[in-house]
Amino acid sequence: MYQPVQWYAWGDEAFARAQAEDKPILLDIGAVWCHWCHVMDRESYEDAEVAAVINQNFVAIKVDRDERPDVDARYQAAASAISGQGGWPLTAFLTPDGRPYYGTTYIPREERYGRPGIVRVLETMAQVWRAQREEALETATSVMAAIEQNENFAGRSGELTLALVDRIAGAALARFDPRYGGFGSQPKFPHPAVLDLLLEMAMSRDNDQAREAFATTLEKMARGGVYDHLAGGFHRYSVDERWVVPHFEKMLYDNTELLRNYVHGFQSVVREEFQETAREIVYWLDSTMTDRERGGFYASQDADVGLDDDGDYFTWTLEEARAVLNGDELAFAAAYWDIGELGDMHHNPAKNVLHIKQTLAQMAARAGKPESELRRLRDTARYKLLAARAKRPTPFIDKTIYTGWNAMAATAYLETARVLRMDSARDFALQTLNRLLDEAWDGDATLRHVVAYPQSQTGAAAPGTLDDYAFTVHACIDAWFASGKMNYYRAAVRLADAMIARFYDRVSGAFLDTAASAGSVPLGALTARRKPLQDTPTPAGNPTAAAALLRLETLSGRREYREIAEDTLASFAGVAEQFALSAGSYGLALERLLLDPIQVVVVGSGPVAARFEALAVARYAVNKTVMRIAPFRLEPGGIPEALEEMLLQAPPPAGAEVWALVCHGRTCLPPITDDEALLMALESAG
């Protein structure tokens, strides 16, 4: 708002002015956490000369990609079609009605990096509109077609089989890096959905290659610099193949999905380091990224505090460490976290990114010391370094509370609470979901994309997207499992029905990412229909929606939910295999469709019920749900319809205060009252 550019928000006012004055639109899409967005703001949009050129020749629109993912997705596709480039900042030049005729990313103030300076680009694009309008309009027409084609696939030629899941997983495994973990070379992103798919393959198919890829990747990421070894939590991605030097911004959605990976890993292979990483992610989220009073998770934390900074808050010179630690602590920290005179950062070679060079077990073996002694030394050094880091200028935290991301966080916390026995995580997840349902949902059909903006910021209510609805349905189902309260189940059903009504394409199949509001006309590239399949990096809307409907079908018995889910997945069956690393959530949803659901119901309370629940939770399986129900909830209307019908198959055993029921498909085994019988039943159910 303080910049000399006359920015407009995305909306009718900007487009009306552009058309009235016959001016092209300059569209800038950035993000709060984006370093090069900050650079371009400072270099160009705060410059009076640049602003004068923009204000004279364009109507300027600025968009936050987190606030308007629907706008961002379409213009990213446009930029890729025009220049082969995407990312943030995204700089696009549009016709007055919003169709793009040129798009690129960062543009420097002066000519450098082999790129023309921004004034030259602005003057050229204005001249194109004035003197070469027909060419611009022709380009805009073809780009709009490319936007719609980008994620509006016609893929019904394939069959929905487990072999398709195997091929998706196989395509991901073909890119696995056995030395450093992860997939491909630099830059390296985590791909949480693919990791869960590989774990599912390991558990359901006894696939050793998938098991190795999953475990190695989690191990290498947690030991790398992409992980914050002082406060916990993961940075967005690594610029190198070894996971050492990250882009330092931290995103809520990365950490919620990786939290689930580490919880699922501990759940299945019981590696203590996976549990430790999961608990540290929760610690960072709790301490830094949450509204403890009202509930809610914040969106992101910046990488840096200024344009000349490159992760300085998170990195250490040897001298900085020496000023904080005593001799023994420094010797340990230098060996453990690889802190030396020569560090890892190009802008300041003395700066070290903390990463684990050798494990505690390896150091203990070499030093002939107990591992417990080194662990205490590590914890002391970490505490001192973290306390010293807290005195540094802290990167900005975007306190916007986004609906879909908060629903993802609630699901991750509820899973963590169940597996790691963390009641505080369960309580905060339910508090957050309650706030979401109270403040972002009208109780019927309308769910907003933003639960709450920071106090310093106000904005128009961004419309809820397919992702917002689908993730919130999942969170409500998980909240019912965690609490047994039917209001969450009823909310899941109402939201699912609204999602179908607003987004499902009953003519062509699958879900659109946006729904037009009554009486409104889509602006710009929002006229392009888009049916998201690819994880980017959050799980894609269509497989997420399909999985939510499949979960609801097993509880409600409503056949329509399964039919729509199957139709949605069938819409992409012919093309999903092509996307490998971006099709993890599709593979998981298809696995859920094709495998009979396994439902474990523990009835009762107290330590015996808790033990039954822990036995049932062990080993991750996408088609398995575990719920504990208090006996009083077995009254009519106290549990979902299909579940009530199943429980009628097996009356409670006489005299038992706690029992378990294992159901495979629609068939339930007789009630179980001892541990060994429960383990045998789970084994026979798969």
Residue 326 pLDDT more than 90? Answer: yes
Helices H, strands E: what count in the chain?
25, 16
Determine contact, residues 160/570, Cβ cutoff 8 Å: yes
pLDDT of residue 517: 66
pLDDT by residue (tens digit) across 11-50? 999 999 999 999 999 999 999 999 999 999 999 999 999 9
Residue 684's pLDDT band (boundaries 50, 70, 90)? confident
Average confidence (pLDDT) over 381-394: 97
Which pair of structure tokens corresponds to residue 74? 């379409």
Q: Where are the domains of the chain?
A: 7-150, 318-392, 598-685
Determine contact, residues 30/5, Cβ cutoff 8 Å: no
Residue 4 pLDDT more than 70? Answer: yes
Tell me if the pTM is above 0.85. Answer: yes
Task: Give 93's contacts (C-beta < 8 A, 6+ positions apart).
Answer: 24, 25, 26, 27, 58, 100, 101, 102, 103, 125, 128, 129
Percent of the chain with pLDDT over 70: 97
CA distance 28 to 9: 10
Residue 244's pLDDT band (boundaries 50, 70, 90)? very high
Average confidence (pLDDT) over 464-480: 97
pLDDT of residue 462: 85
Radius of gyration of the chain (CA): 26
CA distance 256 to 260: 6
Residue 519 pLDDT more than 70? Answer: no
Average confidence (pLDDT) over 447-467: 83
Crossing angle, helix 541-556 and helix 559-570, to 10 degrees?
160
CA distances from 662 to 478, 547, 558, 632 (A): 19, 21, 21, 20
Question: What is the average pLDDT score of the chain?
Answer: 94
Residue 518 pLDDT more than 80? Answer: no
Strands 7-8 and 59-64: parallel
Q: Following DSSP, what letter does each residue of 307-351 receive, concatenated?
A: TT-SSTTT-B-HHHHHTTS-HHHHHHHHHHTT--SS-S-SS-TT-
Listed residue (295, 297, 261) closest to 278, CA to CA: 261
Average confidence (pLDDT) over 389-406: 97
Judged by DSSP in three states, 97 sits in: coil
End-to-end, the C-alpha distance of the chain in Å comes to 58
Judged by DSSP in three states, 598 sits in: strand
Residue 7 pLDDT more than 90? Answer: yes
Task: Give 84's contacts (C-beta < 8 A, 6+ positions apart).
Answer: none
pLDDT by residue (tens digit) across 264-304? 999 999 999 999 999 999 999 999 999 999 999 999 999 98
pLDDT by residue (tens digit) across 85-127? 889 999 999 999 999 999 999 999 999 878 899 999 999 999 9
Bridge partners for 648 per DSSP? none
Question: What burial class does residue 46 get, using C-beta atoms within 10 Å of its C-beta: 0-12 exposed, 13-18 middle, 19+ buried?
Answer: middle
pLDDT of residue 458: 58
Least confident residue range of 234-243, 315-324, 601-610: 601-610
Which top CATH class is 7-150?
alpha beta
Average confidence (pLDDT) over 311-317: 96
pLDDT by residue (tens digit) across 130-184? 999 999 999 999 999 888 877 666 667 789 999 999 999 999 999 999 999 999 9
